[in-house]
Structure 1
Amino acid sequence: MTDHAPPSAADDPREVAAFSDVVREHRAVLVRLARQICPNQDYELAVDDGLLLLYRNWRAITGDRVAWVTVVVKNRAIDLRRRSREQADELTEHDVPIWSAQVSAELRLEFRTALERLPRLTRQEQVALVLTLFGHTTADIAARIGVSQASVRSYRSQAQRRMRHWLDRQHPRRPHRTDAGEEV
């Protein structure tokens, strides 16, 4: 046994060969599973973590090792997806206050126009939009009004969509070209 390998790790040549067979035969399936769960994250990290844990616990796993590593990879991918959502909830582009230096004069003008339209929104849309504009996080707004964070995101999205529709009708935007030369 090597000095750096945990006592239950695969360190016998037959165990290492068996571990290598599992990796060769099942890695692609594990990658597809992780990619389905968290397509926008580093899904291969979930697979690598699962395979490393399989190696470290090789002798301790008495049942089906492929099923064991599949569950570990699935759980790691879910954790990556969850962490990504939590980080996204912490601060989004919609959480930047309108008076911030990052906001242009044109956007401030649109904001004033939007304020005139605010009474046309539902009560939930008004609260979600206004509290967001004052720098509150999605989690804080959800706790204040007693709904889920998903509901707050939905109210905010609906309000923004309606506001954008009204603003585009009042101030049609001229098409412009992206860096790729496409007209938007």
Structure 2
Amino acid sequence: MDDPQADAWFTDVVREHSRALVRYFARRAPAQDAEDLAADVLVTAWRRRDDVPREAVLPWLYTTAGYTLANHRRKHTDLPVEEVPERATAPRVGDDPELSAIFDAEVRGALAAVGERDRQILLLNAWEGLDGAELAGVLGISRSGADAALSRARKRLREAWTDRLHL
């Protein structure tokens, strides 16, 4: 059954958020899988379109992306942060300055030194631009809890960065 309203909504979701999803996955999974993983999230959004909160589409997509990535990782071998390939071997990264930052050895080292949850919070904030209510929505916690978690994660990253500088 055709639903022009649902079709229009989904077209808008794809237009507004597909690039953000591809970038999300390109930062966390093998670059060659990013578009396929983003497509999986969008298929889920279409299938569950009645469950997607219209006022918080992007946080819902990021939450779903987190589950999609976890499933993908269970199926594949994880790549340690230290072994993320250099730019020349990841052609989809191209000259995008935001994505290029992942290849900086010092940043990778500091990120590797913090826990997985802290890393997730930091990357959602820095790379995906989530803050406050959106971050809380993705993490499934209160706004004040998200603010506190981000503050703690930033503190731990600063400590890891300082420790790396003194090596």
| Larger Rg computed on CA atoms | 1
* TM-score of the alignment, normalized to the shorter chain, above 0.5: no
TM-score, structure 2 normalization: 0.41
Query: Larger relative CO (CA 8 A, sep 6+): 1 or 2?
Result: 2
Q: If each structure's helix is expressed as a fraction of its own residues, which one has the higher value?
A: 2
